[in-house]
Amino acid sequence: MMIEALIAVALIGALVTFIAPNRIAGKLAFAISLVPAALSLWLLAAFDGSGNALLDGELAFESQAAWLEVGDYSISWFVGLDGISLPLVVLTTILCTLAIVSSWTPIDERESQFYGLILFIEANLIGVFSALDFFLWFVFWEAVLIPMYLLIGIWGGPRRKYAAIKFFVYTNVASLVMFGAFIALVFGLGDSVTSFALPEIATAMLDGGPEGLFGLGGTTLASVVFVAMFLGFAVKVPIVPFHTWLPDAHVEAPTPASVLLAGVLLKMGTYALLRFNFTMFPDQVAAYAVPIAAIAVISVIYGAMLALAQTDLKRIVAYSSVSSMGYVILGLVAYTQFGVGGATFQMVSHGLISGLMFMAVGVIYNATHTRMVTDMSGMADRMPIAVGILIAGAFGYMGLPLMSGFAAEYFIFFGAFGSGIPYAPLFTALAMFGIVIVAGYLLFALQRTVFGPYRLETDYEVGRAPVHDVASMVVLLGLIIALGVAPDLIFDMITDAIDPIIQGGEF
């Protein structure tokens, strides 16, 4: 019942925070969030699962109870963790706690509602990464959208309503496409499945696949479902050309919402791709490997080039997320242990690094009330600690050895280069060139913003960052270095859950 405890604490905490006085809401939410964070770290230490949750693996902290009957299919409360989902649950609880702390400076109105929504997001994110029944998973998946829409739409910038609506429409339409495709797949599987339990559906897919539906043969139906689900999840990742909602959402969102959006919500898309497309459809992965690899490389290069053209620090970090998620897609389609394992490791690594970068940009904005590279310089003289952490995070993005970004990218490149994808060395080389562009736009932004003589085009006096803001960034930087120095802290459990997926599926 440990997973239920994590979700319940966050949900009850959200309700309590909603009705708490504004003056204590931030500290109360922080205290409540420490409980899921501590519990998730205990789950990590006590983890005794093995294999993959969908492929007859030994689940950790498993719990299942009958819920509903829908026609011939049963729906259950079915949760459990394996080496893929557990690191993402830990990432969620840690980032939510730190996002709350980073809210203490910029959020000064309707605090109770703001912190309650963050805890509500946390509960549903834990559900997304632990649910093993499709309907239960979809409830959590959709429930995440509502609080993020409100966080952007209420506490965001001048164009917050436009950004919030764009975010909601894009992701909701994508969810509809994905949902319809998966339901068609379940019906197409016929009598081989009697529930919406993901392990049962995955087994049926690998044992023979769908019989057909709507006049489509089994193979054709599987291909249509694969493409539809891939497109639905691609919007959430996001990958080019479905990325246009992301910069607007990031720029208008308050800093803590950007931390959660880049750090965890984008990982919902890559996690779903791994759980559904790349686990249940190995034949389709092989058939579409070249176009998927091309999409991954385009996302890497195009996202980095867009970041290079920006002068808003938040937009720079936002577009860099598009580039980084391209690496995840390349690792997944490689279908090798290091490729898929590296992609999963990159989900965690990017969550930490992007969270750190958005926090650092937020701290600078709180002090200067501008994010434009052209409006300031010499910030290192006034905010040496915060700027030092920003520089360290940027080097993590660039893949500096002994930081998690380097480990993630090395695993992905190693796995992709040696994969059976046609033209794999070429795809890998092109993706590696993205690192050069990343270094270009980050170094350009840092040189203009933090070095040189002090200059600020606004009427604010810049001082040192508050201790709680610095402390949040120090925690994230410490985790980035820890995973860079010792990636086996989570990589071994990841590869243990990855191996069943790629066995017999390499091409």
Q: How confident is the model over 270-318, as pLDDT tens digits?
A: 999 999 999 999 999 999 999 999 999 999 999 999 998 898 999 999 9
| Contact residues for 376 (Cβ-Cβ < 8 A; gap 6+) | 368, 370, 449, 455, 456, 457
pLDDT at 466: 87
Looking at residue 240, its amino acid is V
pLDDT at 91: 97
Max distance between CA atoms of the chain, in angstroms, equals 72
pLDDT at 507: 53
For CA atoms 279, 280, 286, 292, the dihedral sign is: negative
Which residues of the chain have a pLDDT value below 70?
215, 504-507
Question: Residue 249 is part of which domain span?
Answer: 2-504
> Which residues partner with 68 through β-bridges?
75
pLDDT at 171: 93
How many domains does the chain fold into? 1
pLDDT at 505: 53
Q: Which one, of 62, 86, 90, lies nearest residue 76 by Cα?
A: 62
CA dist., res. 437 & res. 76, Å (int): 47
CA dist., res. 245 & res. 234, Å (int): 12
| CA angle (24, 26, 31) in 5-degree steps | 95
